[in-house]
Each structure stands twice: as C-alpha cells, then as structure tokens.
Amino acid sequence: MNKLQQLDYVTIIIYMLMMAGIGIFLGKYIKNISDYFKGGSAVSWVAGGISNFMTKFSTFVFVAYAGIAYSDGLVAITLMWSTILPSLLAVFIYAKLWKRAGIISPVEFLETRFNAPIRQIFSWSGVLLKLLDDMIKLYSIGIFVTAASGIPFQTAVLFCGVVVAVYTVVGGFLAVIVTDVVQFVILVLATFILVPLAYNAAGGFANMQKVMPDNMSFFNGHRGEISFIAVYYLTIVIKYLGNWTFIQRFYSAKSESDGKKIGWLTAALFFIFPVIFLFPSVAARVIIPDLANPEMAYVALCLKLLPAGIMGLMIAAMFAATMSVLSAEFNVTASVLTRDIYQRLFRKNATPKETLWVARLMTLGVGLIVSVGALYVNKLGGAFQVNQYLSGIFSIPMIIPVIMGVLFWRPQPWGAIASMIVGIAVGAILNATPGVNWQTATFIEVLVCVAVFLGSGFFLSKDEAYNNKVKAFFIKLATPAPKDAPTDNSVVSGLMLLYALSFVITGVLFIAMSLPSIATASGKLAMGSGIACLIGALVFYLQRKKTKINLS
C-alpha cells in the first residue's frame, strides 16, 4: 500500500495552520463565559445546523462504519440513517425546551429539576463518559492517519488532539462553529472527488450488483436484522438527544424558531451525506476484495485511487471530521467542568474574568486527557464494538433521566439515581451473559431504566419547596423563550471576513493540489472544487461589505 507523498504533507500542514489561525482570530471576540460556551448571539441557524451535523460525524464513520460498509454493504447506510430521528424529535419537542431552560451548560438544569446532588452526580459521571467517548474518536483518526502515512500512531493522535485543544481553548464556541463550517466544506468536496472515482473503478452499480448482490441490500447481514436495527435506532435516539453537544446547539440558538431550523437542517444532512460518504467503502469490496482489515477500507481505497496532493486533501478531510467532533466535545465538557463543578462547588462568586480563564484551562485539560487516553483504546477492541457497548451499558442509564426529566414532572430525584445505577448494573450483567446478544441486552436495559425512572413518579415528594421548584421549572419550559439580544454586527462582519479568507485558502489549496494531476479525473474534480470555494469566498466577502454598510 502506498503512503503519503511530500505534497500530501504540505496540504495537511497548511490545513492545520488554517484551523489554528481561525481559533486565534476568534479569540478577540470572547468577552465572557457566555461567549465562550454559547457564542453570544452571532451564530446563524445554518452554521448551527452544519455544526450539529459535523459534531456527530467523526473519522469513526470512516473507520467503523466504513468497515461495516465493506463487509456488509448498504446496511451501513441504514444504520447511519438512525441519526435522522433524534434531529426530528428535536424539531418537534426538544429544541424549544432546551432554549427555554435558559442554560449555559447541558446539565445545569438538573439542579432545578431535581436537586444539587443529582446535578453533581450526572456532571461527574457525564464528564467521565465524554472523555472515554472522545478517546475512541481520536483513536479512529490515529488509525486512519497511521495506515495512510506511516506516521507513528502515537504521533498522529497527540498531534491532532493538541491542535484541536489549542484552537478551542482560544476561540471557544465561535471557533467550534466556524471550523465546523470550513471543515464541512473540505470534507464534502474531498469526498465528491473520491465518489465518482470509486464508482468507475467498481464498474458501476450493475457490476457491483453482479459481484456482491447481498451487499447491495440495505438489510444485509446480522446488522440488517430488524431486531438489531430497531434497538440500534433506539440507542442512537437516546444517545443523541442526551448528547451534550447536541443539546448545546439548541440552547445556543438565537431563538426557538432558529432551533427548529437547526433540527431540520441536521436531519436533511444526515439523510443525504451518509450515502455519499459510505458509498466508496461499499465499492471498495469490488475494487479491493481481499482487504485483511475491513476498517481500513476507506484509507486503502484512497491510497489506490487518489494521486499525491489530492490524497493529502482527503487526509485533511478526515482530520476535519474528527476535529469538528473533538472541538465541540472539548468545549461542552469544559462548560460542565466550569459551570456545574468549579463554580457550583468551589467558587460560587468567581469573577467573569476568572471563570473565563478557568474555562480555557478546563478545555486544555480535557484535550490533554483525551489525547493520552486515546493511545490505549486499542486494548479494548475495535472502534465500533467499543462504542457500541459503551453506549449500551453506560450512556443509556445516564441519559434517560436527562431527556425524560424535561418531559415528565412526576419522577423523583431518587428515581434518576436509581435508574442510572440499576440500568448500568443490568446492562453490565446482560452484556457479560453468554447467549444474550447485544440488542436483547440493550432493549431490556432501556425498559428497566424507563420503568424505574417513571415508577418513581408514583411516590410523590411531600417537600413543598421541592414541589414548588419543579412546578416553576415546568412553567418556564411552557413559556416561549425571549429572543436573544440583537447580533453585534461587528462580530458578524468579522465572521464573514474569516469565512471568506478560509474559503480562499481552501480554494487555492484545492487548485494547487490539482495541478500535478490535472490530466486525470481526480485533478479536474479538485480544480472544480477549488473554483467553487473561491466563488463561496466572494459571496462571504460581499455579505461582509453589506454588513459593514449597515454598521455605518
């Protein structure tokens, strides 16, 4: 298998410098803790929707899901479409509730809904789970880069983790959003280069159907069984609705209306792009039929079909996928460490300047812990397996009280704790029991958690202060949230300039990398992608001029 060439490394270095530059530029707009964790009111619903999509779309997709696509075919797309449901539930139910809650961290409301100990328990346990989940994601990009370039796994992991931590520490939530948008463009354009090449190399759909008819079914293999799909969809719905970055996108929206638009856009993106992103791995089964490790399908196909320079763009796109997720996770995890633990337990009267510095230190700490921990994920098994069982055993019991606690007023604080403890115990026992498959164990665990949590509602508290507090909380959730303060046009102007510059750099990068292979299809596609970026840069520049006119 060929490795990266010097031109590819140049591409990756330029990309990394651009990401770091975005974070440093946006640092000047961070004035307080709300700016750092919510972005003020400068984030549009389009950017919010793209960011919401990107924060759930890491290189894990190009390793774990790519492995399923190579082995079992289109069923990988069926599994990824599970992400549409939580986005739609957010549109119709949760988007307005998270906005009305008036929070800066995703677990802040638990003290009002339940009590202070519940907030602390779910904060500490949630941070631990987030760290483990992020380690898996960073591990995935390390595997990909090592296979593609020969760079030592440890170097790839630490380099990516530290770069993400640095630009997130400086730029906060705004850096997360802007880099998500830029990285989305890079990822989409790079994939659009690979898809037609893979289609032609595989001989088109007709040949793929002839060579591997089973893999061209959306319900192939044991993961295509209705029982597995149903439980998998259920776990994704629960996991996404309770995901801190998912919640953050909605309470950071400018208004309830914008929150719903973010949900609609996220659902649309999750419907369209899994087909585009996973098709090359499905085709790889025809092109490279004897691949020893299915999880290497994407990288093997890229190395086979893409010339120097273009391959570097694809690696940059893979970095983009995971860096989007990690930057968001670092930011939102730091918000819990700062708001729900540091301020709540240690420094209730901390000054705004102090909390902002603590937030940055927490972000850096999270980044370093995840980077080091990712080096040891390989001792736990494959990326998909580890994520599947981590979600099943721990995520579900910890999320159900969060997502159901804003819908039902009767369940009690002890029910939240009991459902978490009993759920984790049941999940661990069932998953360790021979003869009990994952879907059966997970489904039983969900039923037990829901039963325990809702069952606590039959034993209402006689504490008048608690009951009044819960009543006031649900009145707040039933009251439409006021719109955020008008957007600072100077910030918007700065964002438009940053987008324009980023698109210029990206466009020039695509065009420059296309020149050595301009006679090939991949070179021509890269050239077209570069031109599209330059047109996008012009649009942002003109929009900035319009904003500056409104300022004057």
Assigned token pair, 213: 């008819």
Domain total of the chain: 1
Q: Where are the alpha helices (DSSP H) in 212-349?
A: 226-241, 244-251, 256-287, 297-305, 310-335
Q: Is the pLDDT of residue 424 over 70?
A: yes
More confident residue, 521 or 545: 521
pTM as predicted? 0.84
Q: Report, in angstroms and rounded to the nearest whole number, the Rg of the chain calculated over CA atoms.
A: 23
- Assign residue 301 the CATH number of its domain: 1.20.1730.10
How far is the C-alpha of 501 from the C-alpha of 60, rounded, in Å?
Answer: 29
Question: What is the average pLDDT score of the chain?
Answer: 83
* 550 found inside a domain: no
Distance from C-alpha of 107 to C-alpha of 327, rounded to nearest angstrom: 19
**Percentage of the residues of the chain whose pLDDT score is greater than 90:** 23
Average pLDDT over residues 355-374: 86
pLDDT of residue 476: 93
Could you tell me where the DSSP H helices lie in 374-463?
Answer: 383-390, 396-405, 413-432, 438-455
For the cut 60, the answer to whether the pLDDT of residue 42 exceeds it is: no
Q: Is residue 506 part of a domain?
A: no
pLDDT at 239 over 90: no
pLDDT of 30 strictly over 80: no
Residue 228 lies in a domain: yes
Residue 248 lies inside a defined structural domain of this protein = yes
Cβ contact 84:52 at 8 Å: no
For position 1, what pLDDT does the model report? Answer: 45
User: How many angstroms separate the first and last alpha carbons of the chain?
Assistant: 58
Determine, yes or no, domain membership for 393: no
**Smallest Cα–Cα separation from 106: which of 264, 260, 249?**
249
The answer to whether residue 493 sits within a structural domain is no
- 516 Cβ contact list (under 8 Å, min separation 6): 7, 307, 308, 309, 523
Domain that holds residue 236: 6-374+483-487
Mean pLDDT along residues 241-254: 86
Greater confidence (496 vs 488) lies with 496
Residue 159 lies in a domain: yes
Local structure of residue 486 (DSSP, 8 states): P
Confirm whether 531 is domain-assigned. Answer: no
